[in-house]
Amino acid sequence: VTKEYGATRKISWVEVLAWQKAFEKKGTWLPAQTIEAFDKYHISMKGPLGTPVGEGIRSLNVVLRRELDLFVCQRPVRWFTGVGSPIRHPEWVDMVVFRENTEDIYSGIEWAEGTPEVAKFADFLQKEMGVTMVRFPETSAYGVKPVSVEGSERLVRAAVRYAIDHHLPSVTLVHKGNIMKYTEGGFKKWGYALAEREFPEAVFTMT
């Protein structure tokens, strides 16, 4: 900041607690004051957070995503000179990945193998929904991946806006719609429809 702006701007740091330090001082892994500070200041720097060991305790990163509705995991991908790479022309790589952060598998809806909950869920699938193609039903864990119209649209909207604002040539929707036609396929369908509806000045090609 000093290098770029001199004395015209500065950072005022505000420490908030999470994980071990928060538990030792506040008796909770993620105090409400921490969530409130993130919501107030909008910009934060967070180091690695582990997951507390114990029943009923979820990943603190997952809690932060859900509480603050951080639905985009944005990952710029570029190559730096001197870093080894398995591809022939790593210098050509210049992309930004927008990954769903709060629904789909990140909803964290799952049940462990051998539990009463998974037995109940498996029984429901078989008897009520007619699902019979589970390969090893007696030893399977189960998870549910909800994919919504709204969640798909806002992720694609964010990606397209970013591409337009940064003069990027294309946006690619990555999915497994050939296998999961209603969740992954729904994401593709809703995403393309959103792009064509809200950004008609751009050209989109579905392949």
pLDDT over 70, % of the chain:
94
Average pLDDT over residues 131-137: 92
Give dist(CA 56, CA 51) in Å, integer.
Answer: 11
Give dist(CA 76, CA 168) in Å, integer.
Answer: 13
Number of domains in the chain: 2
137: in domain: no
Give dist(CA 152, CA 180) in Å, integer.
Answer: 15
Average pLDDT over residues 142-147: 97
88 and 151 belong to one structural domain: yes
Q: Is the separation of the CB atoms in 137 and 119 below 8 Å?
A: no
60 and 2 belong to one structural domain: yes
On the question of pLDDT at 129 being above 70, the answer is: yes
7 and 53 belong to one structural domain: yes
Give dist(CA 154, CA 160) in Å, integer.
Answer: 10
168 and 85 belong to one structural domain: yes
59 and 98 belong to one structural domain: no
Instruction: Please enumerate in sequence order all residues whose Cβ is within 8 A of that of 13, keeping only pairs 6 or more positions apart, or say none.
Output: none
203: in domain: yes
**Domain interval for residue 27:** 1-66
pLDDT over 90, % of the chain:
71
131: in domain: no
Helix (H) or strand (E) holding 151, with range, is: helix 149-165
19 and 82 belong to one structural domain: no
53 and 84 belong to one structural domain: no
Q: Residue 22 has which token pair? A: 């928060």
127: in domain: no
87 and 180 belong to one structural domain: yes
Res 191: pLDDT: 96
